[in-house]
Every structure is written in C-alpha cells, then in structure tokens.
C-alpha cells in the first residue's frame, strides 16, 4: 500500500509504502525485519521465523533512546510475552504492538509530530 502524507518530513525516515514482504523508506526497498527511527535504520533486526522475539532482541531498539516503541508483528497479530512488555515498560518506554500497517501509519504520524519513536517491524 502506498502512503501519501503532506508534511515537512523530507529529511526523516518516513515509510512511504509497505507490503507483507517489504517497506519503502526514502526510495529504498527494505526486505527484512528492521527497526526505524526518524534518523536511523537498523537493518536485519534479529527475529525468529515464527514471529517471536526475546527481551534481548529489543536491546538495540532500546539503545536508540525512544520514548515509544511500536512493534509491528507482520500481517498477523502476535501478542508478545508479558515479560517483554514488562521489560520495555520497566525502562520507562511506551510499548505498543499491532499489525504492520497500523504500526507504520502510527509511526509516520508520530514522527510528523517530532516524537521520539522507533518502529520495529517483522517482515515476511
């Protein structure tokens, strides 16, 4: 799905399109699970084939210092382990999980508001 958004986000990592197996950021196709902030991209974010993640898998995301982490679980909703939720919230970071499309749209809105947000996406 292509996303059209009028804003001053030309120098930010806005996600302009997405499908189950890729996203487009600044005209670059990304085809593996990744983490994106307004100014950084962590390529090939470690995840597992079944969509599960461990607390330690979020340490690179946490090290970016976001105030909110949006976890896009792919085309199917994967409810993270409560231990993961508690781990991230214990670091005083907001944590939300949702389908990729919802995570991407929320991320784009939050960076347009100049919020310090990271989106972690599972791509199939």
Q: Per-residue pLDDT tens for 12-37?
A: 999 999 998 999 999 999 999 999 99
pLDDT digit string (tens) for 37-95?
999 999 988 776 666 788 999 999 999 999 999 999 988 888 898 999 999 999 999 99
68 phi, psi to nearest 5 deg: -140, 135
Question: Among residues 75, 95, 99, which one has the least CA distance to residue 85?
Answer: 95
Domains of the chain with CATH codes:
15-121 (3.40.1230.10)
pLDDT for 49 equals 62
pLDDT for 76 equals 86
What is the spatial distance between Cα 28 and Cα 41, in angstroms, rounded to a whole number? 11
Confidence of residue 8 (pLDDT cuts 50, 70, 90): low
pLDDT for 78 equals 85
Higher-confidence residue: 100 or 51? 100
Cβ count near 45 (within 10 Å): 20
Cβ count near 114 (within 10 Å): 11
Q: Is 70 helix (H, G, I), strand (E, B) or coil?
A: strand
């Amino acid at each position: 799905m292509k996303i059209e958004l009028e804003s001053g986000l030309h120098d930010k990592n806005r996600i302009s399109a997405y499908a189950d197996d890729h996203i487009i950021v600044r005209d670059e196709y990304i085809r593996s699970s990744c983490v994106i902030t307004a100014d950084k991209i962590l390529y090939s974010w470690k995840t597992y084939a079944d969509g599960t993640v461990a607390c330690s898998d979020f340490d690179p995301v946490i090290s970016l210092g976001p105030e909110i982490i949006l976890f896009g679980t792919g085309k199917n909703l994967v409810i993270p382990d409560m231990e993961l939720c508690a781990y991230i919230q214990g670091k005083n970071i907001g944590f939300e999980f949702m389908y990729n499309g919802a995570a991407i749209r929320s991320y784009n809105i939050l960076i347009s508001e100049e919020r310090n947000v990271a989106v972690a996406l599972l791509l199939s």
